[in-house]
């Protein structure tokens, strides 16, 4: 039994460096796969907010990013309410054209 344990321990010591070397060789391939994978909604939102943040720095940037990333897209009902308020005073074809444009944004 002692011989078996000694052989196992010795073989683990010899094989461990090759296992780590193989894992290291595979890592660049994983990076390429991750880079070519399509972006998630959160990643795309992060990119958009980052672009909109522009030259903001420090606490101002943190606050902007927090509000930007937590903002939820407007629902169709919200759009309808906003567009109806903005369309006040318009009638007929003018109102239809305005509402079509407003709701398509």
Domain boundaries, the chain: 1-37, 41-71, 74-105
| Average pLDDT per consecutive 10 residues, the chain (105 residues; last block may be shorter) | 68 62 54 68 86 91 91 85 92 94 86
Residue 26 is predicted with a pLDDT of 53
pTM of the model: 0.40
Residue 98 is predicted with a pLDDT of 93
Using CA atoms, how far apart are residues 100 and 93, in angstroms rounded to an integer? 10
Residue 84 is predicted with a pLDDT of 92
Residue 85 burial (CB count, 10 A): 8
Residue 30 is predicted with a pLDDT of 54
């Amino acid at each position: 039994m002692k011989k078996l344990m000694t052989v196992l321990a010795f073989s683990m010591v010899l094989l461990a460096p090759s296992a780590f070397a193989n894992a290291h060789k595979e890592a660049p391939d994983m990076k390429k796969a991750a880079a070519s994978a399509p972006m998630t909604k959160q990643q795309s939102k992060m990119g958009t907010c980052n672009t909109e943040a522009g030259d903001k720095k420090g606490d101002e940037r943190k606050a902007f990013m927090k509000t930007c990333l937590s903002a939820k897209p407007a629902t169709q009902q919200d759009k309808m309410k906003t567009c109806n308020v903005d369309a006040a005073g318009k009638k007929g074809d003018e109102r239809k054209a305005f509402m079509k444009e407003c709701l398509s944004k």
